Structure 1
């Protein structure tokens, strides 16, 4: 434990996964007597303070524009945590039906453009926050560089809570591709298309980053490496053999925080062991695809299983079948341990949480690194990847039936979960961050 109180400034991406990851690590640092401040996006206002943290929030777009976005979404962005990206992703979601190569221009590039615009807009705000809070260490869980964070004169810690293909290597598939580990021809074509579609934006952003006094960015990467680097991925899925990471990188097999929510009041028939229990979530963004939610629900309705459904923001636009129970928001980390199988979009947090609790998965990826997680789980044998918009009801039901009947897989996922939980990723992350803060003052 550190001998003196330090101030740790977190800046997470405005989405539930990265923010919850930082909340868990921040709680651990507070337990150790440190001051923790969040420079989160403004839609999180009040929600972090309620958990005991200081808030010094940023806007990623002008207030009028944010209000317009909220009006389009039918809700107040200041009250809906993560609304900035929920509204944006819903607008581009029709593009999710395209291949990963096609999505580079219609999904991935527009997301980077929006991220870059947000970084430029909030740069003066971040400099003011750093001046006010005077942090000893700055921690960013995001995919994009914010120059203020690396020019503050204090240690910078980067957290990767997306698939670790985000850190490139010659012997691993390119990030966002969802390509198989042995598809090197596909890798080359995808990398060429990424270069074609992204180099102009990257060059302009790199030039702006350097104008703000920050170092040049790594080739075709949008964020710097830190004084310490943490990445969130179970060892059993990791690419460490194919792409060993350099010194200064630390794997967190999981980072599962204790939720403040009370356990869900499940029907007794869901917990009495008479039927297998399936947990189904497409995340706060994917669940907004009502047609896809209905397809999965209709397919599962015919199976002799019980299904917990995380219904998401458009929960009132579809009905659950008789063998289902759900709500708009669910305490996921309390429900996954009860399940026998997880059906997920392949978001990094849900993927790592499922393995943390030793559960096999069916993955229906939509965008960004979800394809990479789905492919990695599939090729390592911890679950099955299905084509999200092409699967038939029979294929989904067959996948559920086969995974539930696979006793060898159950034993393997159980063993992986025991090992992952023993490593206590939240405490390990806090140890690394704390050591950085202590070393700065030695």
Structure 2
């Protein structure tokens, strides 16, 4: 046991990375160290709610937290028409707009981050983001990169490019995606490299906005679904955390007026994806005709739903790990938390991706036999019913999920991460 040290966590301002870091931070404190958070102002209360000190780092022009939340909600909702496009087609709209915004966050962070680090004086910094914040490299202490998205965020020539949704063996599609991504992103990337030069950092190759840490990199992706790489990741610098599933409060399944003893579904498109009310209403109508019960996460849009079927329950939020552990199948958007939680608890999933690594996770869940990929709008009720039936009754899929779940649950992701960080602190 080392003397108590301070570990600073700097997750992306999204609930997936935020809550994963909370789980690791709790395990770090269980070893006797102090965990603190560096945070976009809009997420300070999330970390404080778990009892951690949190220090604001502006990632955009300062504005009240409710306005910031509204900004990202509007950003996502404004792109709903693009959600039905292929990952390749999204490069010119959603992906381009995202990277433009992300580069801007790096510029803003550089204004606050040096001063915040000087005040906090961490002994180790853990950053979960897709872009380099130069002040972290320049602080003079070891830093760890957490990869909470798909593992293909760390590139390899033999695996699909990040965000592409390409199959593992579809080399032509992979090449086409890489070429188009590089073409569209080139001006944004040049702008970022100019920023890096101004901070005294070397330029990155086209398409790269971050690097692997020379100290340690923690991947939340589970080993049972990882890709076959041409260049395997060296274990002394890359640690898989098997989903790193956090603990949440217990959840009691509500009583249903219909289908009381039938299989239970959970449907969620995440805090931002719940803005696609039309899709969720269509799914509710479809599930109403099936021999199941269903919990629907509708986010902050509960008032937009009228009377619901007797086999459906709506809520603005669920303690997701506690819920997934109790259901029979899940329909979700492919966010990495939902993806890994389903695998951890051995639950089959139908993934309807809309953006970012949801495309990669949807392809991966199907090609590894853990569930199905389904287009968000191009599906019929008969197709949905058939895939749900297969999820619940297919013995091959059930066995595959049971093996993956047993493997993941035999590991303790947060504790593994904490022990790795403890070794670095020594």
- Say yes or no: TM over 0.5: yes
Structure 2 Cα separation of the partners of residues 243 and 158 of structure 1: 19
The question of 1:151 aligning with 2:150 is answered no
Residue 47 and residue 289 in structure 1: after superposition, are their counterparts in 2 closer, same or farther (change >3 A)? same
Would you say 1:254 and 2:243 are equivalent positions?
A: yes
C-alpha displacement of 1:232: 1.0
User: Following the alignment from structure 1 to structure 2, what is the Cα–Cα distance between the partners of residues 232 and 181?
Assistant: 19
Equivalences for residues 236-315 of structure 1 within 5 A: 236-241=224-229, 243-246=231-234, 247-259=236-248, 261-264=249-252, 266-267=254-255, 274-315=261-302
Query: Structure 1 stretch 381-390 or stretch 309-318: which is displaced more?
Result: 309-318
Report the CA distance shift for 1:35/1:218 in structure 2 as closer, same or farther (over 3 A).
farther
Distance change (3 Å), C-alpha of 1:248 and 1:307: same
8 Å CA contact 1:172–1:243 kept in 2: the answer is: no
Q: Of 361, 365, 387, which residue of structure 2 is paired with 1:377?
A: 365
Unaligned runs of 5+ in 2: none
Aligned partners of 1:137 and 1:155 also within 8 Å? yes
Matched residue, 2:219: 231
Matches for 1:36-435 after TM superposition, within 5 Å: 36-63=35-62, 66-67=63-64, 76-77=66-67, 85-226=72-213, 227-241=215-229, 243-246=231-234, 247-259=236-248, 261-264=249-252, 266-267=254-255, 274-319=261-306, 320-435=308-423
How far 1:361 moved relative to its partner? 0.7
Q: CA separation in 1, counterparts of 2:169 and 2:228?
A: 16
Structure 1 alignment gaps of length 5 or more: 71-75
- Summarize the Cα distance change of 1:84–1:135 in structure 2 as closer, same or farther, 3 Å threshold: farther
Partners in 2 of 1:159 and 1:215 — Cα distance?
22
Deviates more, 1:228-237 or 1:10-19: 228-237
| Displacement of 1:263 | 1.9
Name the residue aligned to 1:73: none
TM-score (norm 2): 0.95
Matched position secondary structure for 1:97: coil
User: C-alpha separation between the residues in 2 aligned to 1:219 and 1:105?
Assistant: 17
Structure 1 residues 210 and 249: CA distance shift in structure 2, 3 A: farther
Deviation at 1:405, TM superposition (A): 1.5
Q: Deviations over 1:56-110 (max 9, x none)?
A: 01222223xx35xx7xxxxx247x6xx6533422222221122211111101111
Distance 1:211 1:104 in 2: 28
After TM superposition, the runs of 4+ consecutive aligned structure 1 residues lying more than 6 A away are: 268-272
Shift of 1:210: 3.1
Shift of 1:414: 1.6
Q: Secondary structure at the match of 1:29?
A: helix
Give the CA deviation at 1:215: 4.2
**C-alpha deviation, 1:314, in angstroms:** 1.2
Q: Work out whether residues 15 and 85 of structure 1, in 8 Å CA contact, stay in contact via their aligned partners in 2.
A: no
Corresponding position of 2:13: 14
What number of residue pairs does the alignment pair up?
423
Distance 1:270 1:428, change over 3 A: farther
Deviates more, 1:378-387 or 1:231-240: 231-240
Shift, 1:180, TM fit: 1.4
Deviation at 1:50, TM superposition (A): 2.5
